[in-house]
Amino acid sequence: MPSRRHPVGQRPCASQLPVQLSALSLAIGTTLVSLIASTTVALPAHASEAVDSTARKSYTVPAGKLGDALAHFAAAAGVPLSFDPAVLADQRSNGLQGNFTVKEGLGRLLAGSGFELVDTGSGAYSLRKIPMAALAPAAQSDQALPAITVTANQLGEITEHSRSYTPGTIATATRLPLTPRETPQSISVITRQQIDDFGLTSIDKVIERTPGVSIVTYDSERTEYWARGFAIQNFQYDGIPMQRDSGYSAGNTLSDMAIYDRVEVLKGATGLLTGSGDPGATINLVRKKPTRAFQGSLQAGVGSWDNYRTQADLSGALNQSGSVRARAVAAYQDRQSHQDHYQKQVGVFYGILEADLTPSTLLSVGVDYQDNKPKGSSWGGIKIFDTTGNFNDMPRSFNNGATWSHWSQYTRTAFATLEHTFDNEWVAKLQLNHQINGYDAMLGAAAGGTPNPADGSGTSLWMGKYVGKTRANAADFYASGPFNLFGRKHELVLGGSFTDRRWTNAGYSASGYNTSVSDYYGWTGHIPYANWGTPGYTNDETTRESGLYGTTRLNLRDDLKLIVGGRVSNYENNEQDMKATGKFVPYVGAVYDLDKNLSVYASYTAIFKPHSEKDETGKTIDPQTGENHEVGLKGSFFNGRLNASAAYFQLKQDNYADYVRFDTATNLDVYRVLQGVKTKGYEFEVSGQIARDWQLQAGYTHSVSHQEGERIGTLNPANQFSLYTSHKLGGALQGLTLGGGARWQDKTWASVTNPVSGKMDYVMGSRWLFDAMARYEFSKNLSASLNVNNLLDKKYHTIFQWYSTYTWGEPRSVMLNVNYKF
């Protein structure tokens, strides 16, 4: 039987400014600042004495000339800014929206301009040209770097149109939109630009290229992600925790990337906002948001093994004022595979509507769905050993599934968000999410027994039918904003959340079916349909989690920020007869700025994870508890266009569930309970623009878990490295972008059963995988891209230790896409 594993958009309203200005007064203020700037004379120092340059405020700066955008921002912020508009005459800005400090806002407007902000003292600012020596070699030209679109909301900065491999602000860790440098925890973000460059159409492809995260493939429909020595089971959608570990592989690891702006992977424990979960990492998928300006794209692609994909994306305002905006995304993929008689259709739709109910109130409602309809699904993989105890080396095309075997899965989501910005800069936000993850699996596979290499005998069929779904409802409400204490302005978040998940399942067995396989090596998957009859068993499991959380970011000094918070959580599961009330999960983080580019940080949080796993006696294991410590160094360069980090982390856990075996008598997996599991490691990452039109994301991670000297979690490699980069060429090659990537991981192993020698550690060697991409822009509207995955056609596999089976990795594949934007 299968194992149980498993936006807020643009708000271009002038009334969002900290001071409510009429259109006339705003125009007058902008004009005055422009006149002042044109004479390069700063306002008197006393004009800005009341302005707190470290406070975050909400700004909306329209697109247009860069000089006008700077003047508009300065007028809204109430700060004097002196510059000569003539030197910026040929440069344009795509505008700015979101919550920023004065320096952050001006820095983002200047990003890519070749100029930087200078604090002249007493709250006044000016501009100066960045010296050539300070620019990366490829950026050393008189031509200014192109402006970058920056749009922000309470989830952080939108990466679409940023042309960057690094994020702006992110809010996954604390609900506060902070830059990577300001966040006292490691986080990796795969931006929309990187998704598009490398054709990352599925979450599996995204995770494969995320620094510090590895992927294990169990069969054609199931994958599992690992980070810092632990399987990742925490998923969020727009920051809201949803279904986790409650149903037979029901959709989280099958998400199509057409509807998402970015994927954030927050490393370490995240109990402040999730309440419970594994300490490895949390994956947050952030949806695309509507745009005020009309935009659209059509895409069509064809690739290896009859892989066909189409995608459409439309966005824009629905009325003249732009107060109502909408976006719709649809994608359809029909592909076969390197595996015999396997094919799959994926259909995706996403629609979202945003409306400014008042100048300060935003309502968002949306839906999304995805259908995954495979045929010829494998189940459990290929047996690692034959009857002689040797490796059962089958072709990469071998598929143990029957031709009619399928594991169909679907997701249906409806969501709504209501957000209000008060005059005192506080924001209140309510998010509601309803999601159904379902499956209809009718499976038959040559997966039982052990093949005899002499005549192909010795194997049998696994037969099973499983129909079920998880209905998950989630609500999250919080208020955030500044407060004054001891003469300084600080930030506070207070909120609460509730989730209710109900998993129902019906399991069937084939009746009157001959399950023997006469010739395993001649298997083609052509076997008769089974008669399933009535369900042999059913499940009805309800899990409820609720909690109150709060966090404050204290501005102790200009160069020192302290984040203190915690969550009081409640957890209840009816099937496991488990209940935990008033569990407190603390969070503490500190960031100290060494200079304008570098900061050191430290953070601490607790670990709390209720178990569904059972021990030898059939008793559910007590909740997993522990501590997560992390210290590191972070850097931000070129006005945030390049971010870098180095981290050292240490985790300690009790009541850790370690897999032992599958009990055929009870049809349950058996685990042992480990105390004092310790994980230590370090990681390095750099992402963003390293030179003109040259983007890069690279990372190295080392992580090892031990318990009393015994290495555990060995399916997670101890060492990993990844590097992905793209460069847009100029001159005679104008319009051409070339890129490539490399990923390496250390050897991994797990305990499996050899029919001759019994229990043993099976080792998979280290491996390098390489990818390549090229895109040519025929015009501003039309482009074509070519992506090659596993460029050198490396042959490798991962294992499913529970069943002593393995699955081949995908061979070299090629995909050609044509994209038209309008």
What is the model's pLDDT at position 138? 39
Spans of the chain below 70 pLDDT: 1-54, 63-64, 86, 89-90, 92, 94, 97-98, 112, 121-122, 131-152, 243-251, 275-278, 664-667
pLDDT score of 94: 65
DSSP state of 337: -
Q: What is the pLDDT of residues 582-604, one digit of tens each?
A: 889 899 999 999 999 999 999 99
Give SS3 for 228: coil
Radius of gyration of the chain (CA): 27
Tokens in use for 1? 């039987």
Q: For position 400, what pLDDT does the model report?
A: 96
Strands 81-82 and 124-129 turn out to be parallel
Closest to 21 measured CA to CA, from 6, 33, 9: 33
User: Which has the closest alpha carbon to 493: 563, 547, 559, 560?
Assistant: 563
What stretch of H or E contains 243?
Answer: none
Q: Which of 601, 697, 716, 607 is nearest to 651 (CA)?
A: 607
Give residue for tokens 């906002």. Answer: 273
* Domain coordinates in residue numbering, the chain: 57-129, 295-443+455-511+525-536+557-604+614-821
Q: What distances in angstroms separate CA 731 from CA 692, 734, 780, 781, 785, one per listed residue?
A: 13, 5, 17, 20, 20
Rounded to whole angstroms, the Cα distance separating 801 from 385 reads 12
Helix, strand, or coil (residue 64): strand
Give pTM, 2 decimals: 0.83
pLDDT at residue 809 in the model? 95
Q: pLDDT tens, 90-148?
A: 676 767 766 778 888 888 888 767 788 888 766 788 888 775 444 444 343 333 444 44
pLDDT of residue 549: 94
CB-based burial, 397-419: b 16+ in 10 Å, e otherwise: ebbbbbbbbbbbbbbbbebebbb
Give dist(CA 455, CA 452) in Å, integer.
6
User: What pLDDT does 8 receive?
Assistant: 29
At the topology level, CATH places domain 295-443+455-511+525-536+557-604+614-821 in: Maltoporin; Chain A (2.40.170)
pLDDT score at 735: 94
Helix (H, G, I), strand (E, B) or coil at 489: strand
CATH of domain 57-129: 3.55.50.30
d(CA 335, CA 315): 28
Distance CA 390, CA 450 (A): 11
Q: Which helix (H) or strand (E) holds 186?
A: none
